Structure 1
């Protein structure tokens, strides 16, 4: 009997070592693949099984409500006991649905992106947009779950909006990007709801569809603002012309360069009204807001041609197209020349949706990374038992908790404004916090989701896992509804237009929150840091008005970090100073809360010539 040496694969180093058996059994011989090297037979574990016996367990997608301590504690803290029970019951149920059925649908939306058929077999222009069954199912689920309706039924008064935002927070990471048309639908519903009585026909026509729980009646809305010159500069970028008709309607002629949710039932868009002499008014004063139904009574496109689908870095599940409006029938729903003012309510909603998508996307990747750390072994132990790995997850957790609390706080203020009970200070605070929340959480999302992918090693880079899409889809959050710089300038605009009142409201709210902390020994130092940073930033704004344009981004970061610190401290105190809440507040307050002051001292805002020289050295374009 010839001696057979058995080898087992050692995963950590890739080498082989002999097993302890002197001889293999007959069964082992039978299942071994033999080879001869220098007269010695050997068999390897992989030879019979081809791919080996080990398979890595994938991360579990958990119920994102029951698995999120901050989400639960905020709901319990603010929503009154008498109405909280049915809300929490629904959130727990929905959290489970999101982690199972809806999650699988979201992955299917990624696998089956929309397609455009422009011509039929006989050369006729048809412009038919094909979306997957999963995308259509997301539409029905959104209606069934009242993801828009909840905020407008106002069944729970001022808490209806918070309830809706929490449901959207749970839904967004599993939605296959259906959260995007829902954001625009929510914005359209709020805008139409607040239209004066002269536009009651629009409410009768569209509002009931936008807020319906019946999937057969539920409409989504687009938001067609961006043109070839455009981006955020709609004043100089909008070239679409609105030609008045005798019946009160208009015919729109223009090219919409970036229209998301192309399969929506209706849209809101900007255009310039053409005078009887053919003249139009340029700039912001020439823009009016229009309501347009995408399909006519025969279910054909309303004089719209779909020129091409956008080939995007991410959000591939979402149909986004370039559209030619060739006499599309539309109706003006703002005063002539007051279109930009008309979309302000819509922008508030869509920016809040952007922030909740950022925060919930971070929560999803962190939740999965946390679970994976209990399943993945390396160097003989589970990842959760390595202090360095847990420290990385903890740093991510601090970011996610801060972002989540900011989004929830903005939602709470929005709910008060929706129901007409917000104080002047709360309305001012909402005006300032909305762009801050959008710009800062989007930057957090890019960082946290990237770090989260790294927690999965090579698997985080493999498309089949569904993980890379989380990073691709996060990138749009820094761009949609205004880039970081555009939103930073919007913060300055809010300060200027309110004559500084938004900063007064900000200061007073922060100080009222940290005052509670002054009586809590564990957090006194952190409260003092937030207070000092607030005073330093207010002082900088007051003394350096000439530097605010250059400092706008750092100012926005400083205001956001300060406010996040304040709400983390406030939450820790109000929730009984739990160890995790206290630790989160402490760690957040270790940041540079007054970044704009730090960089001012370093001379970063003294001259733009240094930046120009640095960036454009040797540039010959």
Structure 2
């Protein structure tokens, strides 16, 4: 007997078919329904087109952009300091596709109802393919409200910020059709406490809003250092102020903006986060002097919203991967998705994913009505609530979805390890969990009418006695101000699940809303897969993965 007879040691079988090239929008019935529900039905073709891109070429680009991390180049071959970050072409493909489809600009260029919801849907699809590229896209999008506070600067920059052309070249903005915007707020000694910042701003001339300053100091975190300009904070004689700092001076020379190093992060690998120094960097004041935090909050509110959307996106992609695997993989001669305990787990994950999406889309609608007092107060509060709750739920959900694949879910060839590394960043960025919960209390105690707006939104329980009882308890809890900071996380969680339950009830799918309320308001489960008896898990799974039903 010759040895070549043993070259093939086994037959490959019981494997899952590839999802490569799947249209992520067509796979996602909840996304289709919630987009329409909150006014983005007109964008269905756009979402469908982007769903095909996200599940196809962008998904492939995401793997490449993470395999080939950004590289920092301090000097050119002649010894000149250049401070360049070089990216793999796949990263530029991700950025170019997103910019050309309006992810950083859509709500600002199309003032129709549902524009914020449509843009959230596009972002939700994009981040499933590659989330780290979302950082510069988000900041470019979110910079617009802050810049509008300084009309003379906005007139100069906004046409190129809102252009649907991506140009990664390191040249002055005057030579570009489109630009991107970054942000640099935190410093070593303060972190979240930006009022402890030591960076100083010195007026070049008269000083004041719209005027030029030179900045001296450092930033411990500067996201996306290859952007064309950055919103940043520095101290003046009147206190912390907001500035727009471009990478190039008006004469075309490089600004005194120096990258110290790139951050070696847990995840978010395709994005080049950095430490930077300003050595007399030229910048222009945005908004009122000494009011830098309220000015840049105009940007932060939008980036926090995108943290919600981004975390929801990671949750959805992890659910898609888990449900797809379990629909085909057999254990003990039976498909996993037909086994009762696995059905419990997958249905629970599906509930979590849809509830997160629903709250995001409701927030999108609120952002479209800033002049409506009720909607403005709702957005002010729920930006912090949603940012806290959804971003906290994402890592746990991605971990559970990974476990559905067994050992395969721990291997880089699947996307799940990347999703898991990515999941914590949204909870940390733009204010950690405690910051969000304290912001909830701040809004409720210092801004008149916010608590009333919350309970107006929640209503009386929408005919569900369980939700009604939960709302009554919430009112009691907020009326008791003793040790309220100590209880801030519990209060924020209770509001978040109440809002999600209310949205699901209003949508009219009793299978979804009843399962959510029974498990989140009444259930005692501490991990996923503890849904109570009587839940229609088959219907929940068919809804979350209709292509598999």
Distance 2:142 2:217 in 1: 23
2:466 aligned residue: 529
2:470–2:521 CA contact under 8 A, matched in 1: no
Q: Residue 565 of structure 1 is aligned with which of 474, 478, 501?
A: 501
- Structure 1 equivalent of residue 181 of structure 2: 221
Q: Name the residue aligned to 2:190.
A: 230
Between the aligned partners of 2:377 and 2:521, the Cα distance in structure 1 is 25
**Alignment pair present for 1:495 and 2:451:** no
1:550 correspondence with 2:469: no
Query: Given that residues 398 and 416 in structure 2 are in contact (C-alpha distance below 8 angstroms), is that contact kept between their aligned partners in structure 1?
Result: no
Listed as ranges, the matches of 1:601-612 within 5 Å are none
Is the CA contact 2:70–2:87 (under 8 Å) kept in the aligned structure 1?
A: yes
Q: Which deviates more from structure 2 when the two are superposed, residues 376-385 or residues 90-99? A: 376-385
Deviations 1:36-64 (A, max 9, x none): xxxxxxxxxxx312575448336515422
Deviation by residue 1:97-121 (Cα, 9 ceiling, x = unmatched): 1100111111111011101111344
CA contact (8 A) 2:203 2:212 kept: yes
Q: Using the alignment, how far apart are the partners of 1:441 and 1:298 within structure 2?
A: 45
Aligned to 2:223: 260
Matched, 1:161 2:110: no
Partner of 1:478: 427
Per the TM alignment, residue 378 of structure 1 is displaced from its structure 2 partner at its CA by: 2.2
SS at match of 2:349: helix
Q: Deviations over 1:173-209 (max 9, x none)?
A: 213511111111111012223x1xxx33312221111
1:239 to 189, 194, 198: 198
Name the structure 2 match of 1:111: 67
SS of corresponding position for 2:430: coil
C-alpha deviation, 1:299, in angstroms: 6.0
8 Å Cα contact 1:374-1:382 kept in structure 2: yes
CA shift for structure 1 position 391: 1.1
1:545 Cα deviation after fit: 1.6
Separation in 2, partners of 1:344, 1:121: 41
Alignment counterpart, residue 87 of structure 1, candidates 33, 43, 46: 43
Contact 1:252 1:326 in 2 (8 A): yes
Conserved 8 A contact 1:107-1:176: no
Q: Tell me by how many angstroms 1:591 deviates.
A: 4.2
**Counterpart-to-counterpart distance in 2, 1:336 and 1:296:** 22
Partners of 2:87 and 2:354 in 1: CA distance: 35
Q: 1:384 aligns with which of 305, 317, 337?
A: 337
Which structure 1 segments of 5+ residues have no match?
Answer: 1-28, 34-46, 274-279, 519-526, 594-621
Equivalents in 1 of 2:81, 2:503: separation in Å? 55
* Pairwise CA RMSD: 2.1
Match of 1:373 among 309, 314, 326: 326
Partners in 1 of 2:511 and 2:481 — Cα distance? 42
Which structure has the greater CA radius of gyration? 1
Structure 1 residues 319-398: aligned runs within 5 Å = 319-398=272-351
Secondary structure in 2 aligned to 1:545? coil
Give the alignment's TM-score, normalised by structure 1.
0.79
- Mapping of 1:387-466 within 5 angstroms? 387-417=340-370, 420=371, 422=372, 424-466=373-415
Are the counterparts in 1 of residues 477 and 491 from structure 2 also a CA contact under 8 Å? no
Q: What's 2:533 paired with?
A: none
In the TM superposition, what whole-angstrom CA distance separates every residue of 1:545-585 from its partner, at most 9, and x where no partner exists?
2311111111111111111111111112xxxx454454445
Q: Partners in 2 of 1:481 and 1:232 — Cα distance?
A: 8
| CA offset digits 1:279-323 (Å, max 9, x no partner) | x45xxxx11110111233576541111111111111111001110
1:126 equivalent in alignment to 2:77: no
Match of 2:540 in 1: none
**Structure 1 Cα separation of the partners of residues 331 and 165 of structure 2:** 50
2:141 is the counterpart of 1:180: no
1:192 aligns with 2:128: no
CA distance in 1, matches of 2:253, 2:86: 14
CA deviations 1:335-364 (Å, max 9, x no partner) are 110111111221110000000001111000
Aligned to 1:249: 212
CA shift digits 1:63-101 (9 cap, x unpaired): 22222222212233342xxx83x4112211211111001
**Which digits, 9 at most, give the CA deviation of each residue in 1:390-442, with x for residues without a partner?**
2111111111111110011001111122xx4x2x1221111111100001001
Find the aligned partners of 1:299 and 1:378 in 2 and give their Cα distance: 64
8 Å Cα contact 2:501-2:516 kept in structure 1: no
Question: Could you tell me how far 1:258 is from its partner in structure 2?
Answer: 0.8
- For the residues of structure 2 that align with 1:485 and 1:336, how far apart are their CA atoms? 28
- 2:124, 2:309 within 8 Å by CA — same for their partners in 1? yes
Task: State the alpha-carbon separation in 2 of the partners of residues 334 and 311 from structure 1.
Answer: 34
Gaps of 5+ in 2: 168-176, 526-549
Once residues 172 and 299 of structure 1 are traced to their aligned partners in structure 2, the CA distance between those partners, rounded to angstroms, is: 34
Structure 1 pair 128–569 and aligned structure 2 pair: CA distance change class (3 A) = same
Deviation, 1:219, is 1.6
Q: Secondary structure at the match of 1:49?
A: coil
* Paired positions, count: 511
The equivalent position to 2:33 in structure 1, one of 53, 69, 73, is: 73
Spell out, residue by residue over 1:356-378, the C-alpha distance to the aligned partner (whole angstroms, 9 max, x if none).
Answer: 00111100010111111123222
Return the alpha-carbon distance in structure 2 between the equivalents of residues 59 and 506 of structure 1: 44
- Residues 131 and 422 in structure 2, CA contact (< 8 A), matched pair in contact too: no
Partner of 2:261: 308
Tell me the residue number matched to 2:156.
205
- Distance in 1 separating the partners of 2:296 and 2:285: 13
Secondary structure of 1:549 counterpart? coil
SS of aligned partner of 2:475: helix
The one of the two structures with greater contact order (alpha-carbon pairs below 8 A, sep at least 6) is 2
Distance 1:538 1:374, change over 3 A: same
- When residues 455 and 299 of structure 1 are mapped into structure 2, their CA distance, relative to the original with a 3 A threshold, is farther
- Can you list the C-alpha shifts for 1:461-480, whole angstroms capped at 9, x where unaligned? 11232321110011111100
Q: Is the 8 A contact 1:459 1:465 kept in 2?
A: yes
